[in-house]
Chains A and B, each alone.
Chain A
Amino acid sequence: MSFLRFAARRLVEMAVTLFGASFVVFGAMYLAPGSPASFLLSGRSASPAALQAINEQYHLDDPFLVRYFRWLGQVLQGDFGRSITYRTDVSELLADRLPATLLLVGMALVIVVVIGLALGRLGAVRGGATDSTILVTTTIALGTPSFVAAVLLQGLFAVELGWFPVGGVGDGFGDMLRHLALPALALALYLIGMLARVTRSAMLEALEGEHVTVARSRGVPEREVIRRHVFRNSLGTVLTTGGLIVSTLLVCTILVESAFSIGGIGQLLELSTTTKDFPTVQAISLIIVALFMTVNLIVDLLHPLVDPRVALGPRRSDA
C-alpha cells in the first residue's frame, strides 16, 4: 500500500489508542475509594462549602460520560484545569516546567544515541578484548536504574569533587547545560547499555551476511563495507528501539529530576502524586502518553524509509 495510506492508517490507530488512554487517565480518579469529591479534597478541609465548590467546579453531578467529554474538550483546547495544590492553572505550571524537562531529555537522547551507537559498533567490528569490555560495561549499565546512577553520579562528581552543581536547573542556556550534564548522564546510562547491545547484535548479524563478503570481494575498502553494508543494515533494528528509548527517558526523567531537584514536569508529577493533586497528575500522564505514542508513530513512519523491504510489500515474480 502507498506510504500515504499507511501513514493515514497509523495516525487513525494512534488517535483511537490515545482516545482510549485519555479515558483511562480520566477514569482512574473514580477508582478511588469514597466519593470523587472527597478524593479530590483528600485531607484538605471538607467543609460543606468546599464540597459544594468542588462539585460545581468538576460538575460532579453530571453523568460520567458528560464529564469525560467536557474534560476532553477542555484538554484539546489546552485547558488542563486547576491545580489543587498550587491553585493555578495546570497549563501554567506545565509551561513553566516543560522547557527544563525537554532540554534534559534532549541532552540525554543525544548522549544515548552518540555513545550507544559508537560502543555497539566498536564491539561488533573490533571483537576480542574490546568487545568483552563493552559487554561487561553494558551488562552493568543494564542493571543500573536511573535513580541509582543519579545518586552515585551526584555523590561523586557534584558533592565529592564539586565539578558540577548538586541540583537545580540554572539560568540561561550555558548554565542550564552545566546543571543538566550530570542528570542527563544519569538518564542516559541504562539506555546506553541497551542501545549498545542492540546495535552490536544487529551489526554482528549483518556482518555474517553474504553481501558483506561480496562487497569485500569486489575491492570495496573495509571502512566503506562497514558503513554501507553492516551499519546501514542494522539501522532498521536500531530505529525500532527508538520508541522504547524515548519512553524510558520520559518516565525516568521523573526519577532523575527528583534526585537533582530539577523543576521539570517530572518532578512536578512526583510532587502532585504525593499531594494528591489529581488534575496535575492527569495532565502530565496524558502528555507523557501522547509524547510516547507520537514517537512510536514517527518511528513507524520512518521505518519504511530506512528499510525499503518493509514498504514494498509482496515481491514481483521470483525465480
Chain B
Amino acid sequence: MSTGLTRRPGLTRRPGLGRLKAARAPLHLICLGFAVLVVLAALLAPWLSPNDPNAVDLGNALAGPSPDHLLGVDTAGRDTLSRLLLGARTSLLGPLGVVVFSTVAGIAVGLAAGWRGGRLDSVLSRSTELVFAFPGMLLAILIVSVYGEGLLAPVVALAIAYLPYVSRLTRSLVLAERTRPYVSAYQVQGHSAPQICLRHVLPNIAPIVLAQSAVNFGYALMDLAGLSFLGLGVPALTPDWGRMVFDGQTAIQHGYPLSAILPCALIVLTVVAFNVVGERWADQVARRSA
C-alpha cells in the first residue's frame, strides 16, 4: 500500500482532452503530425541545416534573422536554425534511449517477478522499492558526478530510475494474466514457461506497457534537457535544446531573446505533442481492455 500512493499519475484515464478532440480538428492528429515532423527534422538534420552549428562568429553575435541565418544567431554567433535542427538529434535520442532501455529491462524484471513469484519476486520488488526512493534526476546527477560529462551516464541513470514504473506495471499485469484460463491451457499442453510468457502473455500486456512508455518519453525529454541546462548532460560542444536554453539566458539579458525563446518553444511543443499522443494511446488501450 505504501509506495503505490506516491507515483506519477500512471495510466490514469483523463477524460478531458477527449472532449477537445471532438470539438475541433483532431488534436491528437496535429500533435502526432508535429511529433513526426520533429523526428524527421532530427533524422535529416545534417542535410537540412544550412550552416555549421558550431561555427562561431563573434562579430555577428545575437544578430536577428537574416537570409544567411533564418532564425538569427546566438551569443557566439552560431546559426540558431542549424543548432535547433542538430539539437533535435541529441534532445530526442537521449529520451529514446531512456525509454527503450527502461521498457525492455522493466518488462524483463516485471515478467520474472510476476511469473515466478516467490523469492525472486521479493528480491526484485525490494530492489525496485529502493530505486523508487530516488527521484530520476537525482540519480542521474549522482551518476554524472561520478562519471562526468557525456550523454551515456545520465541516460543509463534515468533508465534505471524509470525502470521500476515499467516493471511494477508489468508485474501486476502478469499477475492478472496468470490466472486466466488460456495460460493453464497452454501449461497443460506442455508449453514451457518462457514460451508462454513470450509468445502469449507478452503480446497481451505489451500495449498497456508501451502506452505508458510513450508517456515516459516526455518525462525523459524534460529530465535530460534539464541536465543539459545544468551542464551535466551533453558535452559542451554538442548542440542540444537544453543547453541552448542555458546559452539563451545570456542572450535574453542582452536584450535579444530569440535564441532563447526558440529552443524553449520547441521543448514545450515536443513534450506536449508526445504527451497528447501517448495519453490518447493509453486511453484507447485502457478502453479496450476495460
Binding site for B on A (CB under 8 A): 10, 13, 17-18, 20-21, 24-25, 28-29, 31-33, 39, 123, 131-132, 135-136, 139-140, 142-148, 151-152, 154-155, 159-160, 166, 194, 197-198, 200-201, 204, 240-244, 247-248, 250-252, 254-255, 258-259, 269-270, 272-274, 276, 278, 281, 285, 288-289, 292-293, 295-296, 299-300, 303, 310
Q: How far is B248's CA from A152's CA once the two chains are assembled, in angstroms?
A: 10
Distance in angstroms between the alpha carbons of A71 and B17 in the assembled complex: 51
A20, A143, A155, A270: the one contacting B275 at CB < 8 Å is: A143
Task: Tell me if B245 counts as interface (CB < 8 A to partner A).
Answer: yes
Stretch at the interface among B78-86, B205-213, B222-230: B222-230
Is there an interface contact between B218 and A147, defined as CB atoms closer than 8 Å?
A: no
- Indicate if the CB atoms of B267 and A18 lie closer than 8 Å: no
**B61, CB-defined interface residue at 8 Å:** no
A154 to chain B: closest CB distance in Å?
A: 7
Q: A21 to B134, Cβ gap below 8 A?
A: yes
A151 touches B260 (CB 8 A): yes
Q: How far is the CA of A142 from the CA of B264 in the complex (A)?
A: 14
Q: Are the CB atoms of B252 and A243 closer together than 8 Å?
A: no
Interface residues of B in 186-243 (CB under 8 A from A): 218, 222, 225-226, 229-232, 242
Task: Kindly report which residue of chain A lies nearest to residue B126, judged by CB atoms.
Answer: A20
Which of B138, B143, B257, B271 is A155 in contact with, Cβ under 8 Å? B257
Closest-by-CB residue of B relative to A310 is: B1
Known: A24-B130, A160-B257, A244-B8. 6 other contacts (CB 8 A): A32-B147, A142-B271, A145-B225, A148-B225, A273-B145, A296-B5
Which residue in A140, A147, A240, A281 is a CB contact (below 8 Å) of B272? A140
Complex: A162 Cα to B268 Cα, angstroms: 25
Chain B residues contacting A166 (CB-CB under 8 Å) are 253
Measured between beta carbons, the chain B residues less than 8 angstroms from A144 are: 268, 271
Query: How many Å lie between the Cα of A194 and that of B138 in the bound state?
Result: 20
A288 CA to B271 CA, complexed, in Å = 26
A241-B9 contact, Cβ under 8 Å, with A142-B272, A254-B141: yes
Instruction: Please name the 3 residue pairs, one residue from A and one from B, whose CB atoms are nearest each other, closest first.
Output: A243-B6, A143-B272, A143-B271
A151 to chain B, nearest CB (A): 5
Across the interface, do B146 and A132 meet the contact criterion of CB distance under 8 Å?
no
Main secondary structure of the interface of B (DSSP, over half): helix
Decide if B181 is an interface residue (CB 8 Å cutoff).
Answer: no
Interface extent on B, as a size class?
35 or more
> A273's closest neighbor in chain B, by CB?
B145
Chain B residues with CB under 8 Å of A18's CB are 133
Interface membership of B284, Cβ < 8 A: no
**Are A147 and B242 also in contact (CB < 8 A) when A136-B20, A140-B268, A254-B230 are?**
yes
When distances are taken between beta carbons in the complex, the residues of chain B under 8 Å from A24 are 130, 134
Cβ–Cβ contact B20 & A251, under 8 A: no
- Most chain A CB within 10 A, of B5, B12, B15, B136, is at B5
Contacts of B218 in A (CB 8 A): 143
Task: Give CA–CA (A18, B269) in the complex, Å.
Answer: 38
Known interface pairs A259-B249, A276-B145. Does A142 touch B6 (Cβ–Cβ under 8 Å)?
no
Could you tell me the distance between the alpha carbons of A251 and B232 in the complex, rounded to whole angstroms? Answer: 14
Q: Is the CB of B133 within 8 A of A21?
A: yes
Across-interface contacts of A244 in B (CB, < 8 A): 6-8
User: Which of A123, A194, A259 counts the most chain B CB atoms within 10 A?
Assistant: A259
CB distance from B24 to the nearest CB of A (A): 10
**Complex Cα–Cα for A123 and B264 (A):** 27
Q: Which residues of chain A come closer than 8 Å to B225, judged between CB atoms? A: 145, 147-148
CA–CA, A288 and B194, complex, Å: 40
**B19 within 8 Å of A (CB atoms):** yes
B contact residues around A140 at 8 Å (CB): 268, 272
A–B Cβ pairs within 8 angstroms, 29 of them: A10-B2, A13-B2, A17-B129, A24-B130, A32-B147, A132-B20, A139-B272, A143-B269, A143-B270, A148-B245, A152-B264, A154-B249, A155-B252, A160-B257, A197-B9, A197-B16, A198-B9, A198-B12, A200-B16, A201-B16, A204-B15, A240-B5, A254-B230, A259-B249, A270-B231, A272-B145, A273-B141, A281-B142, A285-B141
B142 touches A28 (CB 8 A): yes
- In the assembled complex, the Cα of A152 lies from the Cα of B12 at a distance in Å of 30
B268 touches A159 (CB 8 A): no
**Bound CA–CA A135/B272 (angstroms):** 12
A292 touches B135 (CB 8 A): yes
